[in-house]
Amino acid sequence: MNAERQTSNAPPFYSKWANTPFAPAKCPFFYGWVIVAVSTMSIIFSMPGQTAGIGIFTDHIIAALNITRHQLSLAYMIGTISSGLILPFAGKILDRIGVRFMSLFASIGLALSLLIFANVGNINTFLSARFKVTWLAMIIVSIAFFLVRFFGQGNMTMVGRVAMGRWFNNWRGMATAIAGVPIAFFFNATPWLLNKLIDSYGWQGTCYLTAGLIGIVMTVIGVLFFRDNPEECGLVMDGLKEGRSQQNSRKQLHPTRRQFTRPEALHSVSFWAYVLGLAAHGLIVTAIAFHITSIGQEMGKSREQAVLMFFYSSFISIPARFAISFIVDYTRFRLRYVLMMLAATIACYTLGLAWFNTTAGWIVTTIGFGLSGGTWGVLSNVTFPRYFGRKHLGAISGVCMSVLVIASAIGPAYFSYGRMILGSYRNAAFSTLVLPLIILILAFFTRNPQITKRADNEKD
């Protein structure tokens, strides 16, 4: 039995239910593809907690609480940063209880959070009549943002990524690329879909509907089909036979020699280089998504023209993700080069956004947005299990998710106040160009921690 299998065996707490209500080993095909499907659903159902989902409710929240857009951006930042600060703890819990039970916790938590989110106006009215507290509306909406971000963007997304990372090694990039197709579609379709539901059922009714779907559908699917890793089910990563998996020459492309703990990962320059790259993309993209209609207005674009940028970028993001996934799965192409690509594409769509009012600027923004989305999708799913192993992947991913969530919290507020201080969204966008420059520099100092001095001729 190989070293990785010994170190990644599931603790008795949840492994004893691996064959309940059915045995994954009896599946006529590799059960990891079922995990891909369920993980994809988990990430898709996190949409109400993502900026693309929350952004469609902003005008309704402002009206319900009688606050300004600057105040809403500040509340969003406070609630999101608060959720990000406790995500590392959630990652450690995931390693202890497994993705199956964490999915149950996250699904029910997000459903209840959406019910609270739908009633922020009623809660504010009720408490205002009893307590004379300054900034009460801000406190209430900050708590609501904290809940939907923690359970949605944080936990449900983390569950999906960790689950796929534990079931694949050679096919990890391709598995996440396949999952990326419906995820990209729903991310870009979410504002349109939620807007249609709001037109039919109102914004509160839409929150109730999505809460019911997540609380019932995702809870049941997660409990029935999630499994923590292939070993607890008597299987091997990628669906290979035990003997064949050790002889497979492809496996030597990306060997896992050691299972790093979270403190060890945090002491690695490579960890922070990739986290910063992912976070920089998240910060700017979240800011754009949150203020896209306002950016469009400033640049002389209609609401439809501005939002269509997301739709068209998905046609670039999906093939880019497949192409990059193929390269990182089947070759010795270094992940540091993919990180450099991410830095370049961030600079591309940031510069395009500065001239979003022109046709050329709109096209550059759309292309850069699509390429960066595909690159980001590969790095966010492949890097950490390849670099640090699977045993402590939840704890390590929890720290990464924490930074990403905090970055996404800063983005909308930064662009909102940046526009006020610097005079325009164009100048706010220019000021973020320092981020891809820093990422590009850090990329030169990264390497795969799995590579030992004994195997320095290998690449990451």
Which two structure tokens, joined as six digits, stand for 205? 């009714």
Which two structure tokens, joined as six digits, stand for 409? 């919290």
Following DSSP, what letter does each residue of 147-195 receive, concatenated? HHIIIIIIIIHHHHHHHHHHH-STTHHHHHHHHHHHHHHHHHHHHHHHH
Least confident of 5-9, 221-225, 306-310: 5-9
Least confident of 32-41, 178-187, 250-259, 278-287: 250-259
Which two structure tokens, joined as six digits, stand for 425? 């969204």
Q: How confident is the model at residue 278 (pLDDT cuts 50, 70, 90)?
A: very high
What's 28-450's CATH class?
Answer: mainly alpha
What pLDDT is stored for residue 241 in this prediction? 61
**DSSP character at residue 27:** S
Q: Mean pLDDT over residues 158-178, rounded?
A: 84
How far, in Å, CA of 352 to CA of 5, rounded? 47
Q: Mean pLDDT over residues 235-255, rounded?
A: 60
Q: Mean pLDDT over residues 188-210, rounded?
A: 86
| Per-residue pLDDT tens digits for 121-144 | 899 888 888 777 668 888 999 999
Burial class (CB in 10 A: 0-12, 13-18, 19+), 298: middle
Does 198 or 11 have the greater pLDDT score?
A: 198
Does 342 or 187 have the greater pLDDT score?
A: 342
| Per-residue pLDDT tens digits for 70-125 | 788 888 889 988 988 888 888 888 888 889 999 999 999 999 999 999 999 899 88
| Per-residue pLDDT tens digits for 377-422 | 888 888 888 888 877 888 888 888 888 888 888 888 888 888 888 8
Q: How confident is the model at residue 304 (pLDDT cuts 50, 70, 90)?
A: low
Tell me the percentage of the chain whose pLDDT exceeds 90: 26
User: Over 80: is that where the pLDDT of 259 sits?
Assistant: yes
Q: Mean pLDDT over residues 277-295, rounded?
A: 85
